[in-house]
Amino acid sequence: MKYILLIACLIATNSWAQNSNEPKTEDVQKLKNDKKLKFADANPEDITNDNFPDLVESFDYPNADLTEIVKAISKLTGKNFILDSNVRGKITIIAPSQITVAEAYKAFLSALAMNGLTVVPSGKFLKIRQARTAQRDSLETYTGEYFPNTDQIITRIIKLKYIAAEEVYKNLRILNSKDGESHAYGPTNSLIITDYGSHVERVVNILRYLDVSGFEEKLGVIRIKYAKAKDIADLINKIINKDAGGPSNVPRFRRTTQKESSGGGSESYSLVVPDDRTNSVIVVGNTAGISKIRKLVAQLDFRLRPEDAGGVHVYYVRHGEAEKIANVLNGIAKESEKAQKDKSSGNRGTQRPSTSAGGESPEAVFGGDVKVTADKDTNSLVITASKQDYEVVKNILSKIDIARDQVFVKTVIMEMNAEKKMDWGVNYYQFDKNSQGIGRIGFRGTSSLEDLVNPAGDSGFIFGFGSGEQFEINIGGATKTVSSLVGLVKLIQGNVGGNVLSTPQIMA
């Protein structure tokens, strides 16, 4: 009896197995899942063929209404769905062969994505929404190594180690789907991607080849031996800005300039600044970029010959005043510096170069900085300039430091006693020329000292003292020695009782 019952049970069991393989009136048929994990409670990372190996005999939905497919997948997986009122339309899924429940659910997500739809978790429900509006909803966010490679929209945060997130964002954002978005977050050097999981997987695979060692930004310090660090840094920055197309569209501290190298990599340098205290150039860039800057500095930083080095020069003023000439030269240097800045800036932005009265932009007189200081004690100029600029300064000095025609006037104001009149019989008139000028002394056609002090007469006072020589004058048989104007004054003072009040003098 027991034997017969066992056979009956075996027959019954076999009959159930045969009936389960037969197609039913419902399109969706599911085998028993002996796993403890329920599909309805499974997270996206748990939905795999290993966890849910049960087979679906038929998953064909040609041109089916979206609501019908949602009902079928809800019955198949046990998940609850909420449909937005704007979500409608028809979807086609064709799966004639057996697939697992996990594969059926992923096919459902792909069909939604093709129609611009996605699912958004909300408690025990999944909201079906338009993909563009779902980006602002409570999407799943993944930060670790794992994220679901499905057609469900997710948010993935990728922290980069070696390359700049902003550069990756600018170059890889074209890989986003029409419903996806990506952003770069500079402070943590991270990418934030909101897109279908399959698109995120594509970006991650590309980054595995791009985010490699050797291209991260580092700090390099280059010591300058002979030149000035500021001059070297300024020159390098001009080269960087030219290669980058100018700094107008470059954000601060992210001015990453890249050039392809012969080895297939790229040179990147985002910051080049001088340190005057140590006379060094500080470079922020990747390994290839810093190496390129080092080679450039080695070509620029070399010892100059003494005759080419320039530096500090001393010029002794011969004819003018050092202070006045220094003011003139510093004014020229200031205008030259302004012209250099206008030329380097060009027409960038709304700036317009200054123009002269003739409408032409002024040219820079000097090639570099020129500073002139006057030393009053030695009447000399201390000039700080390169050799080339000093030659220009000397050329200017040769035209302004010249001898000028001058007149020296000395006047004697004195009172005389007209009663003490003394006649004399001297007619004396002489010119004398030497290296200092032309001197004159003499009295023409007079025999009275009274006539000498009458400037209105034809025989008035004619006297010159530029020669600096002494003259002997015979007065009444007595010889008097006259030394320039001073001698004549004493002569008059002694003979006619004159009193000298003042002797003002001026040179012009």
pLDDT in tens, 82-107: 888 788 888 888 888 888 988 989 88
DSSP states of 376-441 as a string? TTTTEEEEEE-HHHHHHHHHHHHHHS------EEE--EEE--TTS--B----EEEEEEETTEEEEE
Q: Tell me: pLDDT of 30 over 80.
A: no
Q: Tell me: pLDDT of 253 over 80.
A: no
What DSSP designation does 20 have? H
Which pLDDT score, from 0 to 100, does residue 401 have?
Answer: 86
Instruction: Quickly tell me which residue has 């499905």 as its tokens.
Output: 150
The answer to whether 218-303 and 309-344+362-400 have equal CATH topology is yes
DSSP states of 11-46 as a string? HHHHHHHHHHHS--SSS--B-----SS-GGG--GGG
Query: CA-to-CA distance for 330 and 201, rounded, in angstroms?
Result: 66
Which pLDDT score, from 0 to 100, does residue 52 have?
Answer: 87
Query: CA-to-CA distance for 109 and 202, rounded, in angstroms?
Result: 18
Query: CA-to-CA distance for 226 and 245, rounded, in angstroms?
Result: 30
Lookup: tokens for 329:
């030269």
What DSSP designation does 45 have? G
Q: Which of these ranges, 21-25, 120-124, 295-299, 455-459, has the smallest mean pLDDT?
A: 21-25
Which pLDDT score, from 0 to 100, does residue 210 have?
Answer: 84
With a CB cutoff of 8 Å and minimum separation 6, the contacts of 283 are 219, 220, 221, 222, 269, 271, 272, 289, 290, 293
Given CATH 3.30.1370.120, say whether it is the number of domain 26-134: yes
How many contiguous H segments (helices) and E segments (strands) does the chain have? 13, 27
Q: What CATH architecture is 309-344+362-400? A: 2-Layer Sandwich (3.30)
Element (H, E) at 473: strand 470-475
Q: Tell me: pLDDT of 27 over 70.
A: no
For residue 181, the cross-strand partners are: 194
Residue pLDDT, tens place only, 330-345: 998 888 888 877 766 6
237 phi and psi angles, rounded to 5 deg: -65, -35
Question: Is there a contact between 47 and 106 (Cβ–Cβ < 8 Å)?
Answer: yes
Which pLDDT score, from 0 to 100, does residue 24 have?
Answer: 39
Pairing mode, strands 153-159 and 141-142:
parallel
Given CATH 3.90.1170.50, say whether it is the number of domain 141-210: no
With a CB cutoff of 8 Å and minimum separation 6, the contacts of 183 are 169, 191, 192
174 phi and psi angles, rounded to 5 deg: -70, -15
Q: Tell me: pLDDT of 159 over 80.
A: yes
Q: What CATH architecture is 218-303? A: 2-Layer Sandwich (3.30)
pLDDT class of 417 with cuts at 50, 70, 90 = low
Q: What is the pTM of this model?
A: 0.43
| Size of the chain, expressed as the number of residues it contains | 508
Domain residue spans of the chain? 26-134, 141-210, 218-303, 309-344+362-400, 408-507
Q: Is the dihedral of CA 11, 17, 22, 26 positive or negative?
A: positive
